[in-house]
Amino acid sequence: MSSAAQYQLHDLLYLMARLRDPDGGCPWDLQQDFASIVPHTLEEAYEVADTIEREDFAHLPSELGDLLFQVVYYSQLGHEQQMFDFSTVVHSITEKLVRRHPHVFPTGELYDTKQTASLNTEQIKERWEEIKQQERAEQAPVDQAVSVLDDIPLNLPALSRALKIQKRASNVGFDWNSLSPVLDKVEEELQEVRAAIASGEAAAISDELGDLLFATVNVARHLKVNPETALRAANIKFSQRFQYVEQQAQAQGMAISDCTEAQLDALWNLAKQRLRTPQHE
């Protein structure tokens, strides 16, 4: 192709079909199925998130392309098994988003005349959840009770799933109205962790630690902080400080394992001072 031309979506779809063609396709791609591609999809999604968090926008198109390719891959597999294809995927998401945005598409038609939305952000969120609950009710078997938690994926990262569960419960009124009892719950769960540790029962310790983590996520939700984002930032901060401690210990001719607790505390405090973030810690 010429330097002025660029590949388009139909080219990517054609490439995927070629990769999966039994006559001259890629042996590795021909061995894949829906389940085997899932780990790659998760990896690509995290790489997109990492690129955005690092503000590496020069490489973001490439990472987004990798993620888009996952959708194309599943669509090709669906086409081969005569279940669905890429056009089905596009139709499904477009239809759903038109349906869930009645304040933008009041007639339910994508290309209807534009109208100014009269709802505020909170009203839009409430309407969104009402529509999703209606969809869940329509999709559920006739003899099955519908729960607001029904369609939350089990394989979501635990922090993200906890946040989603809590939001769903809150949307139907199962929530505290202020932060104080939420913080009290964390204190309560911490005491239960201490009691479990004292009992020496591994199962009880694990159970109570889970409750403590869940309660901590609830604090983050009430403070409008995404717990997954906050923990990723804490991971980065700890890693930077620990690497600084490693470097300082090495400069003094010591290995981390050879340092006393007092020496490590001193190096850690030095790392906090030298690598202090703009936010209050």
Domain ranges of the chain: 9-99, 227-274
pLDDT at 128 over 90: no
> Is the pLDDT reported for residue 242 higher than 80?
yes
Stretch 3-24: mean pLDDT, rounded?
A: 93
Whole-number pLDDT of residue 82 = 97
CB 209 within 8 A of CB 192: no
Task: Give the pLDDT band of residue 84 (cuts 50, 70, 90).
Answer: very high
> How far, in whole angstroms, is CA 125 from its chain's centroid?
19
CA–CA dist 73, 44 (Å, integer): 13
For residue 7, the model assigns a pLDDT of: 96
Tell me, what's the pLDDT at 110?
A: 92
User: Going by CATH, does the domain composed of 9-99 fall within 1.10.287.1080?
Assistant: yes
Interacting residues of 85 by C-beta distance below 8 A, sequence separation 6+: 75, 76, 78, 79
- Render pLDDT for 88-123 as a digit per residue (tens, 0 to 9): 999 999 999 999 888 888 888 999 888 776 777 777
Mean pLDDT of the chain: 91
Three-state secondary structure call for residue 275: coil
Going by C-alpha positions, the residue among 12, 73, 11, 9 that lies closest to residue 41 is 73
Q: What does the pLDDT read at residue 279?
A: 53
**Per-residue confidence at 78, pLDDT binned at 50, 70, 90?**
very high
Lowest mean pLDDT among 140-144, 172-176, 177-181, 240-244: 140-144
Q: pTM score > 0.85 for this model? A: no
Euclidean distance between CA atoms 218 and 180, whole angstroms: 12
Q: What percent of the chain has pLDDT over 70?
A: 94
pLDDT of residue 220: 97
Q: With bands split at pLDDT 50, 70 and 90, how would you rate the model's confidence at 3?
A: low
- C-beta contacts of 47-52 below 8 A and 24+ residues apart: none
Q: How far apart are CA 103 and CA 114, in angstroms?
A: 10
**What one-character DSSP code corresponds to residue 54?**
T
Confidence of residue 15 (pLDDT cuts 50, 70, 90): very high
153-178 pLDDT, tens digit per residue, is 888 889 999 999 999 999 889 999 99
pLDDT category, 53, cuts 50, 70, 90? confident
- Of 25-29, 45-49, 53-57, 146-150, the range with the lowest mean pLDDT is 146-150
Which range, 4-13, 78-87, 102-111, 170-179, is most confident?
A: 78-87
First to last CA, the chain: 54
